[in-house]
Chain A
Amino acid sequence: MTENISETVLQVSNLTKIYGREIRLGDLITFGQQVRGTYNVSFQVKKGEIFGFLGPNGAGKTTTMRVILDYLKPKTGSVEIFNFDHRNDRVEIRKRIGYVPGDMALFEDFTGEELIKYFGRFRPIDQEFLQELKTLFRVKLHKKIKSLSKGNRQQAGLIAVMASKPSLLILDEPTSGLDPLMTANFHKILKKLQNEGVTIFLSSHDLAEVQSICDRVGIIRNGEMILIEAVDALKAKFLQNVLVQFLDDVAPSEEDFKQLTSVLSVERIKSHTYKLKIGEDVTQVLKFLSNYNIKRFTCEDADLEEIFLQYY
């Protein structure tokens, strides 16, 4: 992490986006239809942070990203990037950001090298970092984009966008199409950039990816931000998996466990062995278990996927 962590790079406040128009004539006649994209979404991303943006398809992730980039106009709310207004200071903002859209399409008649050069005309390239990217990704940049596979195109695009070492990277499903080795290399690069103070806003379906590289995560559902939390705190706070094996026949029943408010679910694996998912209050469970003879007890944080599924 960087030293100056407190500086806010991306500030999204009360963002509401409605698609379509609706005209009502009295109570009975309506023309058109409105669909809610996002509702009152607020969050901030600090300098040097990797912020994971999670949500199922249609939850409002892409809408939020497109509003941030000023492709879409919000009905209400504001977005500030590096203290610039996203509508009034587009060019200043774009000098500092790199955007990788989901399913990135590139100029097919360009070679990878030409693509990097072209992007470099708009944002100066960090030559040393470019060499590093080339070494890590190993894509054949002398070939035309149209002759590259989907994964290689994605790599060429990532190199072209990242070579200028932008201060804020906005990434929408950046590893789709990359093989596991390239994904791991990409994560290494993100961590390195983070250490140099680059801020990363990452939308992803890959929960393992978010868990392994993100500092904080925001979960969006039906257009509303339902949770923003540090990944570690989220795992610790929300869900722990407990496996408990009792020593003798005097073991509690499933119903006994369900009486405990902190037990979210209970599953009997063998006659004396239970698997519990427990919430924040571990003490309640420990006090309860102290009444019994226990042969084995393990407790671990649930992974992000389990937490994520709790919300859907």
Chain B
Amino acid sequence: MVYVYLKNLKKSWLTGIVPPLVIIGFVGTIAIGWPSMQELILQRLETMDNPIMKAILGDLGLSGLGATWEAALFMYAGGTMNILLLFVAIFIPARLLSTEIDKNTFDIMLSLPIPRWRYLLEKFSVYLTYSLIIPISMVGIMLGSTALLGETLTTSLVLNYALGFFILQFTLGTISLLCATIFLDSNKSLAAAGIVIGGQYFLDSMGGMLAGIGNFEALSLFNYFSLGAIQQAGMLPIGEVVIVVSIGVLALISALTIFHKREFAF
């Protein structure tokens, strides 16, 4: 049985439900304010279609959506999701081990008859479980608010966007987890994950402004599964899925192997 998973699932529920609540609250607020804010938001959308705004707010891929409820929804919800993705992926997996180490409960956990790789995998699965709630909540609140407002929303676009978000959460989470298994120490793990993941976010955000110099955006995982790419392909681009999932699996296997073999000299 997955006792480590269940224990940590119960323990981390508060941390786990905050990001979905942020999304629900944010989209809910937009929906409530939509009738009165419509004009303002539509004006905002038109000013968005330039590299500087894209650099500030990230890739929103709105060109094909026009000034609609759907575009506004993806602009605000999508931007918020990216920020959430950044913080959740850095702060939670990078501290999966150090929290146990800091509380001195790591020694006793390691003495229990469970393979180390499985212990780590179960802990990481808790992160994945709560990560799954974020896109599910997003899909729910987006579809629900659209129905209530009587607006239109392309369901397949929302579902693919949510799936892409989850895949990115997995991969960025495994990179953060790899940092945790290498450094063990809370500050070092967070710093390393912050540099690697935050750096990618920065590249993705600034990539549009630096397009003349080089294709920096391509180096960032945040650049994958953009709304524009999903619209164009009508689904998640398979090539992107293969790349992102491969990076994630590789990082996860590396993290599990390092954790299984390393010594704990603290």
Contact = CB atoms under 8 A, between A and B. Distances in A.
Interface of A: 19, 66, 69, 71-73, 90-92, 94-95, 97-99, 101, 103-109, 118-119, 121-123, 157
Given A19-B265, A71-B264, A91 B114 contact: yes
B184 to A, nearest CB: 12
B115 interface: yes
Interface in B218-266: 263-265
A72 B265 contact: yes
Those 3 A-B pairs whose CB atoms lie nearest each other, nearest first: A105-B104, A94-B113, A99-B111
Contacts of A94: 111-114
Given A94-B112, A121-B3, A122-B114, A73 B105 contact: no
For B11, B115, B116, B264, the residue with the greatest tally of chain A CB atoms inside 10 Å of its CB is B264
A5 B110 CA distance: 29
Contacts of A90: 115-116
B116 A119 contact: no
Given A71-B110, A157-B108, 10 more contacts: A73-B263, A91-B114, A101-B108, A105-B104, A105-B105, A118-B7, A121-B3, A122-B3, A122-B113, A123-B112
Contact of A71 (B7, B105, B263): B263
B151 interface: no
Interface in B24-46: none
21 contacts: A71-B107, A71-B265, A90-B115, A91-B115, A94-B111, A94-B114, A97-B111, A98-B111, A99-B111, A101-B104, A105-B105, A105-B108, A106-B105, A107-B105, A109-B11, A118-B3, A121-B3, A122-B3, A122-B113, A123-B112, A123-B113
Given A118-B7, A121-B1, A69 B111 contact: yes
A28 to B, nearest CB: 29
Nearest to A37: B265
Interface string B90-111: 0000000000000111011011
Contacts, number: 59
Do most interface residues of chain B lie in helix, strand or loop, or is the interface mixed? loop
A91 B113 contact: yes
A142 B148 CA distance: 48
Contacts of A119: 112
A99 B105 CA distance: 12
Contact of A101 (B3, B107, B112, B115): B107
Nearest to B110: A71
A94 B3 CA distance: 16
Given A105-B105, A118-B3, A69 B110 contact: yes
Centre residue among B11, B103, B108 by max chain A CB count within 10 A: B108
Contacts of B1: 121
